[in-house]
């Protein structure tokens, strides 16, 4: 794999831009690929909020397909950890924040700019690895340019849909790309579908999620296409890794460092003191507040959970869920911190006893891995990456997406907590698990090699188009 030129394209990348797990993956996977010998470039938008010093390396108009000209495009560069980061600056991204209601338009502009921008700065990819719907159009444009592409689905629920009349003009793709099982989806343009249809290989971020999305329950209307990709050998699941340098209880500057379960005691005492909690064990969540994450189930379960647990929640999102947690924060055993605060997240992972993830679906999830690395035992619903990462002998799993199922699993955890020898053994086993990026990185590099050694798939449209 040494010298293979891999270009990742994504809407966010830690530490420059991040709203969740996608940014974390793009902050860790490319660096590990570079350590294993690949030549790696990451392309993302040049957001107004990027604080790091980015050096402008090119500016001008780009000759890109589509009805909207791409004038005054800027390309910035920053090299870090052996990875070249390129930032594409467009007027549509000159505003604070990452995501907005007009994102389909914004990211079609970004996608159209990616390949021409790479050409201007002299980067010739062997394989393009595009991530989620914001980069789905890049896959289609790469295929039309004869460049092999891999597409990763981090969350199938978000698909980048817009009305067909506008979308066809924005993308710059020929009409057949929409009508022959291409981007058209129930009268809309669907940029997630563009990635699925035109990619040489499609991956999801866990093996279980790759199976789940071929069913009506999890397929978000695309299950038929995904079943076909499975039969063609083009859909697989590669479990996300965890940045084990960033999340290391032995060296974490945001907590009292510890190397074993006994060392957690100081962090637990500090967390209780920070939120004025009593001596009951702490059940925590660090999460986007959304029904996908099952946070409504957690709120409904609080009247019973607070009999045996202190509950600490850090997160933001759905205003209704935020309001419910603010009301509950008046309870002496409930603490709620709104928004995202990374130092506080570290203190919660380190100081809590158990960590709850009642997700309705979870493509992979990183929080459960982080929690286990800090000896905090997860209570999770059996779905997606939670199945693939939480062993029965470590955590507590439940099936039904109901408050009662959550309560029952937390009751089992609470009984186990009282058996200190059993709890300590589970926590020590959790801390010993290997969630590093080394294995997944080698899987991706192997996948790229197979893609490069195989002929390009026929276009989904007419041969003479």
How far, rounded to the nearest angstrom, does the alpha carbon of residue 407 sit from its chain's CA centroid?
27
Is 341 a residue whose pLDDT tops 50?
yes
Other CB atoms within a 10 A radius of the CB of residue 326 amount to 11
pLDDT averaged over the chain?
94
The answer to which of 60-74, 130-144, 343-357 has the lowest mean pLDDT is 60-74
The H or E element spanning position 78 is strand 70-80
How confident is the model at residue 67, as a pLDDT?
Answer: 64
How confident is the model at residue 1, as a pLDDT?
Answer: 54
CB 132 within 8 A of CB 151: no
Measured CA to CA, the distance from residue 450 to residue 424 in angstroms comes to 44
Give me the mean pLDDT over the 271-282 stretch.
97
The answer to which of 7-11, 187-191, 234-238, 345-349 has the lowest mean pLDDT is 187-191
Give me the mean pLDDT over the 206-229 stretch.
96
| β-strand pairing of 282-286 with 235-237 | unpaired
% pLDDT > 70, the chain: 98
Peptide bond into 15 cis (omega under 30): yes
Could you read off the pLDDT of 66-94 as tens digits, one per residue?
Answer: 667 788 999 999 999 999 999 999 999 99
Query: Which has more confidence, 175 or 2?
Result: 175
Measured CA to CA, the distance from residue 89 to residue 110 in angstroms comes to 8
How confident is the model at residue 51, as a pLDDT?
Answer: 87
Could you read off the pLDDT of 104-122 as tens digits, one per residue?
Answer: 999 999 999 999 999 999 9
**What are the tokens at 451?**
């893609």
**What are the tokens at 459?**
């276009």
Other CB atoms within a 10 A radius of the CB of residue 165 amount to 9
The answer to which of 14-18, 65-69, 88-92, 166-170 has the lowest mean pLDDT is 65-69
User: How many residues make up the chain in this entry?
Assistant: 465
Beta-carbon contacts of residue 425 (< 8 Å; ≥ 6 apart):
none
Beta-carbon contacts of residue 188 (< 8 Å; ≥ 6 apart):
161, 162, 163, 164, 167
Measured CA to CA, the distance from residue 286 to residue 289 in angstroms comes to 9
Measured CA to CA, the distance from residue 206 to residue 36 in angstroms comes to 22
What are the chain's domains?
A: 5-241+438-453 (3.40.50.2000), 261-434 (3.40.50.2000)
Give me the mean pLDDT over the 259-265 stretch.
93
Other CB atoms within a 10 A radius of the CB of residue 385 amount to 28
User: Which of 146, 228, 202 has the alpha carbon at shortest distance from 455?
Assistant: 146
How confident is the model at residue 461, as a pLDDT?
Answer: 61
Measured CA to CA, the distance from residue 80 to residue 95 in angstroms comes to 25
User: Which of 203, 260, 219, 93 has the alpha carbon at shortest distance from 440?
Assistant: 203
Measured CA to CA, the distance from residue 410 to residue 417 in angstroms comes to 10
397: left (phi over 0), alpha (psi -120 to 50) or beta: beta
DSSP 123: -
Does 360 appear as a known binding residue?
Answer: no
CB 411 within 8 A of CB 220: no
Q: What are phi and psi of 88, to 5 degrees?
A: -100, 115
How confident is the model at residue 464, as a pLDDT?
Answer: 40
| pLDDT category of residue 465 using cuts at 50, 70 and 90 | very low
Give me the mean pLDDT over the 154-179 stretch.
89
User: Which of 273, 247, 205, 227 has the alpha carbon at shortest distance from 375?
Assistant: 247
For CA atoms 340, 296, 220, 176, the dihedral sign is: negative
Query: Which has more confidence, 189 or 65?
Result: 189
Could you read off the pLDDT of 277-317 as tens digits, one per residue?
Answer: 999 999 999 999 999 999 999 999 999 999 999 999 999 99
Tell me the CA distances in angstroms from 73 to 63, 84, 97, one per residue in order: 11, 19, 19
| pLDDT category of residue 184 using cuts at 50, 70 and 90 | confident
Could you read off the pLDDT of 411-442 as tens digits, one per residue?
Answer: 999 999 999 999 999 999 999 999 999 999 99
Is 463 a residue whose pLDDT tops 50?
no
Is 18 a residue whose pLDDT tops 80?
yes
**Which of 18-32, 48-62, 343-357 holds the top average pLDDT?**
343-357
**What are the tokens at 238?**
């590669």
Give me the mean pLDDT over the 123-138 stretch.
97
List of E strands, 100-215: 127-131, 148-153, 161-163, 184-185, 188-190, 201-204
Query: Which has more confidence, 412 or 178?
Result: 412
Could you read off the pLDDT of 324-339 as tens digits, one per residue?
Answer: 999 999 999 999 999 9
Give me the mean pLDDT over the 17-30 stretch.
90
Could you read off the pLDDT of 146-159 as tens digits, one per residue?
Answer: 999 999 999 999 99
CB 45 within 8 A of CB 87: yes
Instruction: Work out the angle at residue 37's Cα, subtended by the Cα atoms of residues 19 and 77, and round it to the nearest 5 degrees.
Output: 50
């Amino acid at each position: 794999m040494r010298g293979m030129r891999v270009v990742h394209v994504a809407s966010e990348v830690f530490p420059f831009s991040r709203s969740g797990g996608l940014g974390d993956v793009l902050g860790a996977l490319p660096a590990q690929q570079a350590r294993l010998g690949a030549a790696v470039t990451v392309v993302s938008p040049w957001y107004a909020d990027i604080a790091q010093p980015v050096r402008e390396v090119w500016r001008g108009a780009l000759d890109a397909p589509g009805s909207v000209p791409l004038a005054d495009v800027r390309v910035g560069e920053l090299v870090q950890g052996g990875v070249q980061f390129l930032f594409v600056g467009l007027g549509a991204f000159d505003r604070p924040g990452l995501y907005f209601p007009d994102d389909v338009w914004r990211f079609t502009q970004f996608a159209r700019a990616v390949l021409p921008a790479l050409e201007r700065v002299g980067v010739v990819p062997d394989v393009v690895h595009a991530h989620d719907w914001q980069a789905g159009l890049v896959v289609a444009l790469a295929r039309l340019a004869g460049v092999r592409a891999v597409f990763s689905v981090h969350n199938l629920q978000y698909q980048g849909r817009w009305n067909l009349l506008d979308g066809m003009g924005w993308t710059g793709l020929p009409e057949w790309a929409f009508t022959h099982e291409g981007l058209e989806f129930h009268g809309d343009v669907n940029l997630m579908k563009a990635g699925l249809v035109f990619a040489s290989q499609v991956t999801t971020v866990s093996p279980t999620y790759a199976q789940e999305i071929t069913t009506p329950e999890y397929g978000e209307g695309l299950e038929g296409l995904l079943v076909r990709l499975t039969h063609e050998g083009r859909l697989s699941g590669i479990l996300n890794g965890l940045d084990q340098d960033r999340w290391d209880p032995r060296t974490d500057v945001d907590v009292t460092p510890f190397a074993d379960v006994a060392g957690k005691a100081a962090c637990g005492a500090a967390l209780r003191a920070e939120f004025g909690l009593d001596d009951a064990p702490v059940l925590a969540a660090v999460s986007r507040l959304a029904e996908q994450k099952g946070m409504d189930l957690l709120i409904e379960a609080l009247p019973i959970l607070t009999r045996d647990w202190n509950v600490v929640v850090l997160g933001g999102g759905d205003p209704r869920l935020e309001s419910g947690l603010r009301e509950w924060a008046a309870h002496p055993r409930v603490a709620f911190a709104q928004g995202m605060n990374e130092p506080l997240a570290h203190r919660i992972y380190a100081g809590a006893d158990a960590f709850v993830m009642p997700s309705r679906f979870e493509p992979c999830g990183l929080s459960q891995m982080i929690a286990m690395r800090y000896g905090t035992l997860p209570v999770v619903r059996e779905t997606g990456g939670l199945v693939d990462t939480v062993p029965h002998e470590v955590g507590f799993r439940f099936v039904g997406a109901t408050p009662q199922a959550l309560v029952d699993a937390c009751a089992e955890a609470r009984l186990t907590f009282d058996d200190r020898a059993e709890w300590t053994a589970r926590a020590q086993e959790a801390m010993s698990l290997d969630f590093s990026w080394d294995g997944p990185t080698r899987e991706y590099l192997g996948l790229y090699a197979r893609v490069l050694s195989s002929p390009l798939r026929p276009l989904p449209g007419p041969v003479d188009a």
